[in-house]
Structure 1
Amino acid sequence: MIRRGKRTHGSLRAIALATLTLIAGSPAFAQHTPSLPLHCVDLAGALLPPASIGLPTNGALVLSAAMIPATATGNLNGDFCRLTGVIRAQSAGTPDIRFEVNLPSRWNGRALQFGGGGYSGVVVTGTGPMPFSPDRAPLARGYATFGDDSGHNGTSSEANFGLLEEAVTNFGYAHLKKAHDVALALITLGYGRLPEHVYFAGGSTGGREGYTVIQRYPDDYDGVIANSPALNFSGVRLIGVVTGQHEYRTPGGYLSPLLLEHVYERVLQVCDALDGAADGLISDVESCRAREPEIIDSLRCASQDQQDQTDRQHAADDCLTPPQIATLESLRDGLRLPYALAWNADTYRGYNVFQGTRFTSMLGLAHSPQRLTQPGFVTNGYLYAQGDAYLKYFITHDPTFDSTNFDVMHPGRYRERLFTLSTTIGAMNPDVSHYIARGGKLITLQGLADEVISPNQTIAYYQGLVGRYGEARVDSFMRLYMVPGYQHGNGVFIPSVDLLGALDDWVTHGSAPETLFVTDIAQATNGRTRPLCRYPAFVRYLGKGNLNRATSFTCVMPQ
């Protein structure tokens, strides 16, 4: 059985009993005298009182309950019961948390909570496949699945809910616990017992949420998959603001997509073969970093081309002026703040700008030299547009605020607000001792070429855990895999691997994953395989054999 504290078990039983009592009094239930497991439709209209949920709410309501047959159009998950509902907000004007819970007819005794993406705002149904997974969706494999919208309505790019404090708290952490408690109550009602194991899986925002549940609710989860985690949320938003200021406030600081692509191609020329294979992937990042001065010098414009940098900033796409180099070096260096955010976080680690990150993507840097009044993700760059919105809605509560004039190093009266938000959303708490002690497991994949979440920030958090607990203890609960060529959901290498199977095997049988063998599903190189090495090891070509086969590579430690 799942290892839970007495308070957790008692709370879940109380939720189930309270819900049973309420359902038993309903007209629909009066026509039946079912014993557990309840028939799917009997869960429609079920109410959960506020006291039965682990954080303050106005209770929860199941709005719909429908049996989805295996023969339904587009259904690849077999027969399952689909439950949708709301968790009522406390504050007037705050949206309810919308959720979905799916109960498969052939249950494997496990539950999986799906994380969100971006600013969420759309219900994560839990009916789709796992990120990176080549296999069937977890629901089709017998997992009871659930997800929610994190407590507001919109798209993953809309930040205006930041004006509502309860919605911000829900987005930061509270929706995770609320949805978890409601889902497990409904699972218990559906099957007559608690799940044997409860897992969480997500990437980006969902990756941050994975670390959040480990830090805040360690008793509720046995295993977590948290990929590309947005750990220092305020940090990544602030570095986005600084990047936009370099591009749009500093004369000549903007770089065109053609110039950014030229930088990427030059890096490949210097670093691609450092791991023994000229395959379009930079695996030996440290050796590439040692060649960074050479790369920058080779890209620098000749002095005669710098006579009027402002006039030529959009004309040449084959060399870098000093302001353009400053923009890229700012991204590379990251942020070191003269003040601390929550948990003494005063740094956001920089990106692998000169180690293979491709900033020409849809989530990369600005595609236009003109800044829009409301910066757009592609037009003005994803990092900057998100940072601008964060300042407007979360920090200043002023939708007209001009982010180009915000002093990140000296935020003045907004410093306290930045600190408060970093406690709510940041997921930087290094104390995961309770999760380790109760045997929880964690797997993280992170792209070395990620242009949104710095891979070096993920590495820094991992290294902080090693410094706090020692390598052996961290190895007992965590696996970190850095993926060459993988960006933020795309890239020249996109790994496909059964992370959920690896996590479940670790939790249930104690079989800890080591080197993973993954298949590339990027369109141009679909089907090639590679070993995925546990950090800090990286993959190196053996010097012979097919470059498209994992057996031609091995994992080595950096020198």
Structure 2
Amino acid sequence: MSARAGSSGAPRAFVSLRVSVRVPLRVSFRMRVWSVLLLAAGVGSAGAAAAAEPTFAMQCIQLAGLTLPPGIIGLPTGGARIDTAEMIAATAHNNQDGEYCRITGSIKPLKVGTPDIRFDVNLPRRWNGRALQVGGGGYNGVVVSGTGVMPFWPDRAPLAQGYATFGDDSGHVGNSALAVFGLVDEAVVNFGYAHLKKTHDVALALIGHAYGRRPEHVYFAGGSTGGREGYTVMQRFPDDYDGVIANSPALNFSGVRLLGVKVGQTEYATPGGFVPRPLLERVYQRTLEVCDQLDGAADGIVSDVSACRRHEADMIASLRCPPGEAGVANDTCLSNAQLATLDVLRGGISLPWPLAWNVTRYRGYNVFQGALFTGMLGLARNDACGTSPTIVANGYLFSQGDGYARYFIARDPAFDSLKFDVLHPGRYRQQIVALSRTIGAMNPDLSRYIARGGKLITLHGLADEVISPNQTIAYYEALVDRFGSGTVDSFMRLYMVPGFQHGSGAFIPSTDLLGALDTWVTRGTAPETLIATDIAAATNGRSRPLCRYPMFPRYGGKGNVNSASSFICVES
């Protein structure tokens, strides 16, 4: 559990221990730094006296070049190095974060050929006593700076509010569908979970050095891959965090990648299976025609997904081409082969053998309940597939699934995923199961995190076209089955957002999740219905209630349809 310190506010200058031996300044400083770092890790004399050192800025700059031993990191590494350390003025160009010390560094691997984990740590001059680790996205590969305004804190940057922030690149360079780092065992483990603990421990040692104490509370926040990382830290490192925001979490990572391969196979390896973008738009518009007003408001948002699902069979029948027209190229109806492609998306994937934690399914998407697959992260734009599928040409799901099959599963860049039998993978099955344990974040046992009083907020769009919202719901329901609804309510809030896709959509919510989490942790006030402001360009400024699952916002029948006050949270 995070150490509880005294009052927050303006911190002391960087502190370190006095040493009596006269040595050169640089060496003396390093010795004093090590004394404090080792104390932060629980090593050294507890009775040693601390004294104020030179200015915050000077101590910040002198960190550059410092090396940190493996012993302060809770997982095996080759230690860490501080590459740069500089003060960023509050008046610096485009700075939204106030005055702070920016530290960049790298955590060294155990094996030659494994990339470093590059990280950033940001220490505000006026610290609020809390720390925030920020998650990544996609296959990571880019250092998460922890600076600037974030989706879960829409008005002011966490760093500007006094949070010490930190993030990393998960242990490789480059965020692409190819994911070639999957060929390196240690890099895969780092990506799956180890980078989170390694960076956390280095950051907390630096925070302890900077302020003379550890944070009162440590939080994690991220979306997509960062959401998966949020669930990962609760499952694997429950003693390290007091609260987690895990939005649109990429749970069951192997499952969604295998489903992506199946989608590609139905589009490219099945005659007539490609679904052109006009037809995807037609499916979406038909969904709005049938389901938009089921919540009482004609607002371009499908809110009552459960009621909409009851119309699914009729919608599919109305979209199917009449006999004799299936082979005619048009944008008004779908052939059986095209509907089969959408059925793969809708139905997800069921495996005849279990992944880790006995998981056998990846839940499908709300294809006929408001999800639009024509955007940047949608389905394929091209009706032919080259040797190296890309997100732009071949869609996010297939291109990511193809890269996973090549580099993580088969570990062969020439592997042809279009010919891969994902239900009967043969000699690759053991590797898939091992990967699902390393990366999947599907362990439902959060008992340690719950017992410690840890809190969790998850927000996920019901129209998400990248990570299925139904997989998140399935994990939530598994928690309820395991612990009971009362226990789950005591530590978790799940908000399923109508109209929200994977960062875009008919409704893009902006709300202060970090403030809600901090209030819950520090004051014991659990969030209930939240209010979100829409930041979608066409409808910017309207608001809706964010309802706790399984409720959704229903229009009350009077009042401004663009105001959250005109809606109530109800169950379908």
- After TM superposition, the structure 1 = structure 2 runs for residues 71-470 of structure 1, keeping only pairs within 5 Å, are 71-306=91-326, 309=327, 312=328, 315-470=329-484
| More displaced 10-residue stretch of structure 1: 204-213 or 69-78 | 69-78
Deviations 1:321-353 (A, max 9, x none): 111111111111111100000000110001001
Structure 1 SS opposite 2:394: coil
C-alpha contact 2:2 2:240 (8 A) present in aligned 1: no
| More displaced 10-residue stretch of structure 1: 84-93 or 155-164 | 155-164
The answer for the alignment partner of 2:47 in structure 1 is none
Structure 1 SS opposite 2:62: helix
Aligned mates of 1:185, 1:26 — CA distance in 2: 24
Aligned mates of 2:319, 2:307 — CA distance in 1: 19
Aligned mates of 2:482, 2:91 — CA distance in 1: 52
The answer for the alignment partner of 2:9 in structure 1 is none
Structure 2 SS opposite 1:451: coil
Residue 42 (structure 1) shift: 2.5
Aligned mates of 2:237, 2:335 — CA distance in 1: 49
Aligned mates of 1:245, 1:31 — CA distance in 2: 60
Structure 1 SS opposite 2:373: coil
C-alpha contact 1:243 1:384 (8 A) present in aligned 2: yes
1:494 to 508, 515, 532: 508
Residue 75 (structure 1) shift: 1.1
- After TM superposition, the structure 1 = structure 2 runs for residues 47-62 of structure 1, keeping only pairs within 5 Å, are 47-62=67-82
Would the alpha carbon gap of residues 20 and 83 (structure 1) be closer, same or farther in structure 2, given more than 3 Å must change?
farther
Identity of aligned residues (%): 67
Deviations 1:188-211 (A, max 9, x none): 001110000000000000000000
The answer for the alignment partner of 1:11 in structure 2 is none
Aligned mates of 2:215, 2:24 — CA distance in 1: 26
Would the alpha carbon gap of residues 522 and 90 (structure 1) be closer, same or farther in structure 2, given more than 3 Å must change?
same
Residue 183 (structure 1) shift: 0.1
Structure 2 SS opposite 1:304: coil
TM-score normalised per structure 1: 0.94
Structure 2 SS opposite 1:305: coil
2:52 to 35, 54, 73: 35
Residue 158 (structure 1) shift: 4.3
C-alpha contact 1:482 1:534 (8 A) present in aligned 2: yes
Residue 78 (structure 1) shift: 1.1
Aligned mates of 2:27, 2:314 — CA distance in 1: 74
Structure 2 SS opposite 1:476: helix
Aligned mates of 2:26, 2:539 — CA distance in 1: 55
Would the alpha carbon gap of residues 99 and 26 (structure 1) be closer, same or farther in structure 2, given more than 3 Å must change?
farther
C-alpha contact 1:40 1:66 (8 A) present in aligned 2: yes
Aligned mates of 2:93, 2:558 — CA distance in 1: 48
Would the alpha carbon gap of residues 271 and 427 (structure 1) be closer, same or farther in structure 2, given more than 3 Å must change?
same
What one-letter code is carried by the residue in structure 2 that aligns with 1:35? A
Residue 132 (structure 1) shift: 4.3
C-alpha contact 1:228 1:445 (8 A) present in aligned 2: yes
Deviations 1:285-312 (A, max 9, x none): 0100000011011111011213xx3xx3
C-alpha contact 1:116 1:124 (8 A) present in aligned 2: yes
The answer for the alignment partner of 2:88 in structure 1 is 68
The answer for the alignment partner of 2:46 in structure 1 is none
Would the alpha carbon gap of residues 43 and 129 (structure 1) be closer, same or farther in structure 2, given more than 3 Å must change?
same
The answer for the alignment partner of 1:553 in structure 2 is 567
Aligned mates of 1:394, 1:155 — CA distance in 2: 15
Structure 1 SS opposite 2:392: coil
C-alpha contact 1:521 1:527 (8 A) present in aligned 2: yes
Structure 1 SS opposite 2:324: helix
Aligned mates of 1:376, 1:227 — CA distance in 2: 25
The answer for the alignment partner of 1:8 in structure 2 is none
Aligned mates of 1:165, 1:62 — CA distance in 2: 25
The answer for the alignment partner of 1:7 in structure 2 is none
Aligned mates of 1:359, 1:100 — CA distance in 2: 35
Structure 1 SS opposite 2:86: strand
Query: Which runs of 5 or more residues in structure 2 are unaligned?
Result: 5-14, 33-50
Structure 2 SS opposite 1:486: coil
Structure 1 SS opposite 2:143: coil
Would the alpha carbon gap of residues 430 and 20 (structure 1) be closer, same or farther in structure 2, given more than 3 Å must change?
farther
The answer for the alignment partner of 1:2 in structure 2 is 2
Aligned mates of 2:215, 2:18 — CA distance in 1: 18
Deviations 1:372-394 (A, max 9, x none): 21011121111000000000000
Structure 1 SS opposite 2:122: strand
Structure 1 SS opposite 2:121: strand
What one-letter code is carried by the residue in structure 2 that aligns with 1:28? R
Aligned mates of 1:534, 1:96 — CA distance in 2: 40
What one-letter code is carried by the residue in structure 1 that aligns with 2:68? L
What one-letter code is carried by the residue in structure 2 that aligns with 1:69? A
C-alpha contact 2:153 2:511 (8 A) present in aligned 1: yes
The answer for the alignment partner of 2:487 in structure 1 is 473
What one-letter code is carried by the residue in structure 1 that aligns with 2:26? A
Residue 276 (structure 1) shift: 0.4
Deviations 1:385-415 (A, max 9, x none): 0000000000111101110000011000000
The answer for the alignment partner of 2:41 in structure 1 is none
C-alpha contact 1:173 1:424 (8 A) present in aligned 2: yes
| More displaced 10-residue stretch of structure 1: 156-165 or 329-338 | 156-165
Would the alpha carbon gap of residues 416 and 543 (structure 1) be closer, same or farther in structure 2, given more than 3 Å must change?
same
The answer for the alignment partner of 2:10 in structure 1 is none
- TM superposition outliers: structure 1 runs of 4+ over 4 Å: 24-27, 31-34
Aligned mates of 1:221, 1:99 — CA distance in 2: 19
Structure 1 SS opposite 2:112: coil
Aligned mates of 1:326, 1:273 — CA distance in 2: 28
C-alpha contact 1:132 1:495 (8 A) present in aligned 2: no
C-alpha contact 1:122 1:156 (8 A) present in aligned 2: no
What one-letter code is carried by the residue in structure 1 that aligns with 2:352? P
Aligned mates of 2:437, 2:214 — CA distance in 1: 31
What one-letter code is carried by the residue in structure 1 that aligns with 2:448? H
Structure 2 SS opposite 1:137: coil
The answer for the alignment partner of 2:549 in structure 1 is 535
C-alpha contact 1:29 1:42 (8 A) present in aligned 2: no
RMSD: 1.8
The answer for the alignment partner of 2:532 in structure 1 is 518
Aligned length: 538
Aligned mates of 1:443, 1:250 — CA distance in 2: 41
